[in-house]
Amino acid sequence: MNLTKIDYHMHTSYSDGEMSLPQLLEALEGNVNVCGVTDHFELNHSCSIEFTKNYLNAFGAFKESAKRHGITAHLGVETGLGKSGILLPFMTGEIEYIIASLHRVPLEEASSEEYWEAYKSIISENARRGGFQILGHVEGYLPIQPFLDRDPGFDKKREIERQIIHKHFTPDWYSHLAKDLEANDIALEIHEPSETPRLEVLDIMKRSGVVFSFGTDSHKPEQVSKRSYLKKAIQELDLKESDFLDIETIKSKI
């Protein structure tokens, strides 16, 4: 497995992405050898896909085309996390793996401290409960909307996130989280667009035996080729193939 040629987190125009499946295939060529399409499949998500015959047939055609180009394609989903578990509408045999990300904290009129404690609590409870294969962007694309009166733009959001994670997401919390992730065979996502989690967090996870997944979380063709943070993590932490999730090994467990 070429670690810089995997991508298990991408969205198409079937959910909130801008790429059709043929456009995604074009973007993958030369950049990715093993991929996963993970459109949103989440209760009360405005862009959640429907597992219709048309969707599955379209993915099947994409998978065959990808194979002819030397690319292995898997069908995953990205769902949400709630207090009582993952927010998957239902399970179907076509799903090969699940990325679970916390997109919304169900709190109103909460202080910053209360809000991020609730965020961490939901993450921790779901890591102990299991039922998914990848914990998505735990330090990136945080649900900071309740604290914004306008959209400050991509870069400013990432700056706000960095301030939050340094204040609220402690090494001690990650050490406890790592034990639950490792015990339930849940991989932690290295999230390219937000350049998270921090290297020190990845180090905690590696030393605890947690494996990693990688995702560009691509919504546009130009995002598919991004690999700078992944390459930095591999180099700084001396990551090997054994440190990464192999979808083929978990398909039979779904």
- Residue 248: the pLDDT is 83
Tokens of 243: 């440190």
Cα–Cα distance list, 92 to 66, 95, 96, 110, 252 (Å):
23, 6, 9, 36, 13
Q: Please enumerate in sequence order all residues whose Cβ is within 8 A of that of 168, keeping only pairs 6 or more positions apart, or say none.
A: 113, 116, 117, 120
Q: How far is CA 12 from the centre of its chain?
A: 15
- Residue 145: the pLDDT is 94
Please list the ranges in the chain whose pLDDT falls under 70: 251-254
Q: Please enumerate in sequence order all residues whose Cβ is within 8 A of that of 41, keeping only pairs 6 or more positions apart, or say none.
A: 48, 49, 51, 77, 78, 79, 88, 89, 95
The Cβ-side half-sphere exposure at 238, using a 13 Å CA radius, reads 1
Q: For residue 132, which of 189, 48, 59, 195 has the smallest C-alpha distance?
A: 189
Would you say how long the chain is, in residues?
Answer: 254
Domains defined along the chain, listed by start: 3-253 (3.20.20.140)
Task: Determine how β-strand 72-82 pairs with β-strand 85-86.
Answer: antiparallel
Q: Is it true that the peptide bond before 221 is cis, omega within 30 degrees of 0? A: no
Give the DSSP letter of residue 11: -
User: 62, 54 in Cβ contact below 8 A?
Assistant: no
- Residue 251: the pLDDT is 59
- Residue 232: the pLDDT is 98
Q: Put residue 20 in one of left, alpha, beta given phi > 0 → left and psi -120 to 50 → alpha.
A: beta
Cα–Cα distance list, 94 to 39, 53, 60, 131 (Å):
13, 11, 10, 16
User: 63, 55 in Cβ contact below 8 A?
Assistant: no
The pLDDT tens digits for 191-228 are 999 999 999 999 999 999 999 999 999 999 999 999 99
